[in-house]
Chains A and B, each alone.
Chain A
């Protein structure tokens, strides 16, 4: 059993939580003052006591590296670094976009689980190579229900677009794909082991795009052809389903006046399944795991021979969710973007009956955006997740635990800066 302390101090809300494995024991969201320096130890003490733990019970530390508030971020990082130094326990640091998308994924998974059956007691397991089979005991009734009620077509592809307002009229974002993988609907028996084994040992052929994880956290400029990254961020197992969250690209920095154009382009790509090739890699378990510095084992091609027909995974429907704090600061631009996307839709027929939230919109296959020559989704739901505008620490707990059990190397524990520091005045080098 691993006890995890996670901190996010990069926003005006100081968020600290304790978990035991993936189970959150206590959590504090301190928004009373912006004085993180003053409150941080008191708040850590509070969550520890609430969880009935002491600081030297902590086995794993997790922290949000940003981007975010410079001052606040450094307070959390300096505290965590010293705890780790004194206890000789690992720290895992994360990009805020990973944290946003993990939070958003969990919410969506919960929604989906509700759709399958309301009465299922939700159970979260972060998929672990070693205990995936033995730790989870299948409750029979759940298994039956899934077999009966849940066909392949009921599972959406979910794209999560976390947008982080990094000030200076710029937005930092990425696209994440949440692949849901109903074990009982797959054509092969042992995909859990297959995928776990492989992402440890393999590196995507296109790995020159991303040599290490710190690269993937560097913002790149948006260009027409975003090269795929498909870095596995986290796997969940909830009830009988497994979920894989992939980061699609290197993180992207755009100007606020480009939001509409660039996001429209991204969505167009999603609609037209321009990432087919990459999906094939995902589905074959040929997953590039950017954090894994140990690349020596990449010879293990045998497992790749276990080809899976990618159409097994092909879903007709996708959901695109915007999340992150920029959906608040750029609310008007984002709503306009969604409205415009829907107006482009030739057919006003709404196929999806499951839209709950007001403001959810959808695009269908007849849309102007869809390229009819390519195989695309037939229906796209557009959503805004307004609950997830802070990189809450409880999602860092999950990410840290997942990285820990899978022995994934952490990012260097330093704040993430989206742009180089530009000095006023003259630089002698120039």
Chain B
């Protein structure tokens, strides 16, 4: 492998059609995201069939755009990295089909990527100091609309899950609460915004599973507590209280994430934490983690917001590291809605 390896990353696991060109796993030449938020907004959540329909419309346009912006000719690409798990099957197969065709056309390697693992590699793009080739181990928290899990990232890029949500993903809970409070979709950014000037101690929700002794989460419980509380006391749903309710929910959810992550650091004696996923864009979460980091002497890495969301640059970045390790896929790979690494 020469000193310039160009990877085309393709990501269609959920509702965004993404393509990116990344050099040597670090340098983003292009990172194109075609968001479908506006389309799904009116349904208050992602509709898988609609997502698939948009992907098939956009896939070639987005890939072309990524190559154009990067100013790279298609034949200069050294390998294609594509998310093939986990995600919505109808969405995944559009990206994987396109990637297979690309690789077959130019006879270049295909690298099948785990979407969750790719989220962690958004940090490789954001921080030069992170070197995935070293023997350093990390605790990694992935928080998004579909996932909320804690991982141990061991040497040789091996990922071990140490905890996960037992019900809703944290982003999903944000969406559901936002819908209940009639705030719109997507819930995360809206709740984040209105909570900024609101009282997070308006209601002190119990932190579910905080003493469970493991590293699993539950977010559905906080959501349900909020719903019951407001059903019982309808006056809480007054307009002036909505922001306070949202802020209280957010404070509880973030608190659980921070506490469990710190516990994991202590148990595994690791002081570097990689946070990623769409919910890592949440400002409360960023503040609380930075605060805890100072207190506990832990290094927290959170990528910039654009790299927290689903994107293909992170897929290309992980693709580079997998390629270096020789983890190449055949052109007969399938797509999977779930995965255990």
Contacts and interface: CB of A to CB of B under 8 A. Distances in A.
A78 B97 contact: yes
Interface in A242-284: none
Contacts of A425: 43
Contacts of A421: 47, 49-50, 53
Contacts of A84: 60
Interface stretch (B199-207, B212-220, B307-315, B328-336): B328-336
B74 A37 contact: no
A56 B93 contact: no
A39 B93 contact: no
Nearest to A87: B105
A186 interface: no
Contact of A414 (B56, B96, B97): B56
A429 B41 CA distance: 11
Interface string A49-80: 00000011000000000000011001111111
A38 B60 contact: no
A83 B100 CA distance: 10
A275 B337 CA distance: 52
A84 B102 CA distance: 10
Contacts of B335: 37
Contacts of B42: 427-429
A69 to B, nearest CB: 11
Contacts of B265: none
A74 B90 contact: yes
A85 interface: yes
Contact of B93 (A42, A74, A429): A74
B47 to A, nearest CB: 6
Nearest to A412: B57
A4 to B, nearest CB: 16
B105 A56 contact: yes
Contact of B56 (A41, A78, A83): A78
A295 interface: no
Contact of A79 (B43, B100, B333): B100
Contact of A37 (B44, B57, B96): B96
B90 A70 contact: yes
Given A56-B105, A85-B63, A427-B43, A71 B97 contact: no
Contacts of A44: 104
Interface string B243-276: 0000000000000000000000000000000000
B83 to A, nearest CB: 14
Contacts of B98: 78-79, 81-82
A197 interface: no
A45 interface: yes
Contact of A70 (B52, B57, B332, B334): B52
Given A55-B105, A74-B56, A78-B101, A37 B334 contact: yes
Interface string A404-430: 000000000011010001010101110
A40 to B, nearest CB: 7
A310 interface: no
B334 A35 contact: yes
Contacts of A41: 100-101, 104, 331-332
Interface in B168-221: none
A85 B57 CA distance: 13
Given A37-B96, A44-B104, A74-B97, A81 B59 contact: yes
14 contacts: A35-B334, A38-B332, A41-B101, A41-B104, A41-B332, A71-B93, A78-B59, A78-B95, A78-B98, A78-B101, A84-B60, A85-B60, A86-B102, A421-B50
Interface of B: 42-44, 47, 49-50, 52-53, 55-57, 59-60, 63-64, 74, 89-90, 93-98, 100-102, 104-106, 331-335
Interface of A: 35, 37-42, 44-45, 55-56, 70-71, 74-87, 414-415, 417, 421, 423, 425, 427-429
